[in-house]
Amino acid sequence: MNQVIKISATTLIVLLWGWSPTMAQKTLDETAETRTIKNIYKNMLLESQSHDWLHYLCKNIGGRLGGSPEYAAAVNYTSFILDSIGADSVWTQSVEVPYWRRGEVEKATLINSQKMGNVTLQVAALGFSGGTEGSGITAPIIEVRSFEELQKLSPSQVQGKIIFFNRPMDRARLNTFHAYGAAVGQRTRGPREAAALGAVGAIIRSMTVKYDDVPHSGVTIFKDQTPIPAVGIGLQSADLLSEILAEEPNTRVNLQLSCRHLGMRTAHTVIGEIRGSEFPDEIILVGGHLDSWDIGEGAHDDGAGCVQAMDVLHTYRRLGIQPKRTIRCVLFANEENGMYGAKEYARLAKQNKENHIAAIESDAGGHTPSGFRMDAMAGVAKTSFERVKDWRSIFASLGVWDIQGGGSAADISQLKDQGTVLFGYRPDSQRYFDYHHAETDTWETVHRRELVLGAGAMTALVYLIDNYGIK
């Protein structure tokens, strides 16, 4: 997951807990529906296979960059699972995506420090970084903590240097996604702005609030520029480098990266659905993105979201529930480096005049559920938000308490202008950036119960939308 979706407060109605059910006409039997949904939860907690599916994705396939052989294997596997659990239809949408391969060599060495000699720094190449030849590049370091500091430097000062962006995520922010959104620009555009001033390389403090020495990857965007070598650096290595630079400002670093750009490749978005019995042309989408970064296993980002979406369909089939509306599981291609799959899906949905009444995406990890963020065009926002208010006490009984306006998720945001009501599933965020885009994003870090509870929250929302509509 790379994008933080923001919308203006004027288009949203925040669902505050002070609201009373008596303020709106009741549209459902809360007691009966709460009982039904709790029975769905019970079945999921006992029978869900989502954690086992995630194990296969992580351990048998691993990191899944769009266009890679690993990604193709994930397409085959998830298509097979959707078919085996009884989806009425399973198919794929092809899309051309840029393909970048990491390579085996990723080294950063602080050279000949007077205090410490040669020091190995913990780094990982950023996605779409440029590579190096032979013994790599060796250059002096300039540390900056903001784009403003960078812009104060002249091209003559930057020419031939490696720029070290050392702005940390703000640990004082309660919501780690807000901290990420405020700092991630140094990764996505820092290297290209450094290159525009003549830098030969870039080192980026990793986007995490966990103080360890695990480097985090993630995309960096060069647009039409020739990519320079760019790496994420572990926090302990970043602080060590900063300390040495304070004492030895002429310190140099050697970077060696064997990553390569390999042109465009074909990738596929995976789709499976259960057709509705009464309103089959009204689609409720549940999904995640199937691609991931390659240095970990893509467990939280976003294998968890994919298997949760698949679990919604499996639960309907397992319990013999026939939906009124069509429930469609969509596992998007290429979210991590361009959202090509989501853009193509939205284009075809518009071209084919499909009616997506709601879309729910899980792309924030497999931790304990807390709620949903909602988004919609102004013309449909008020009605849909008022409808969800009627359901809030049901979700509260499930421990899903934080339902409000203020965003959704990257892939489904492409459907907003088609009148779709968007829901971004939100689990607890405190540990998500411990693993995000890092080698530590593994199956072992996803707790089965937390994963299934998230799938349960998504299934409950689908169930209510299916039975009562959303607009």
| Tens digit of each residue's pLDDT (9 = 90 or more) over 366-414 | 999 999 999 999 989 888 998 998 999 999 999 999 998 888 999 999 9
Give, in words, the CATH class of 9-100+263-468: alpha beta
pLDDT at residue 471 in the model: 82
Classified as helix, coil or strand, 373 is strand
Show Cβ contacts of residue 134 under 8 Å, excluding neighbours closer than 6 positions.
none
Place of tokens 């309103």: 279
Return the CATH number of the domain spanning residue range 103-258.
3.50.30.30
Name the amino acid, one letter, at 49: Q
Residue 9: per-residue pLDDT: 37
Residue 250: pLDDT above 80? yes
Q: What's the rounded Cα separation, in Å, for the pair 361 and 374?
A: 11
Q: Rounded to the nearest 10 degrees, what angle do helices 304-319 and 30-47 cross at? A: 110
pLDDT of residue 29: 85
CA 470 to chain centre: 25
Q: Each residue of 286-329: pLDDT tens digit?
A: 999 999 999 999 999 999 999 999 999 999 999 999 999 999 99
Establish how many alpha carbons lie within 13 A of residue 60's alpha carbon, considering only the half-sphere containing its beta carbon: 12
Of 18-32, 180-194, 221-235, 247-261, the range with the lowest mean pLDDT is 18-32
In sequence order, the β-bridge partners of residue 14 are: none
9-100+263-468 and 103-258 share one CATH topology?
Answer: no
User: What are the start-end ranges of the H helices in 190-248?
Assistant: 190-196, 235-247
Closest CA to 59 of 334, 450, 449, 441: 441
Q: pTM for this one? A: 0.93
pLDDT in tens, 17-36: 333 333 334 457 889 999 99
> Would you list the domain boundaries of the chain?
9-100+263-468, 103-258
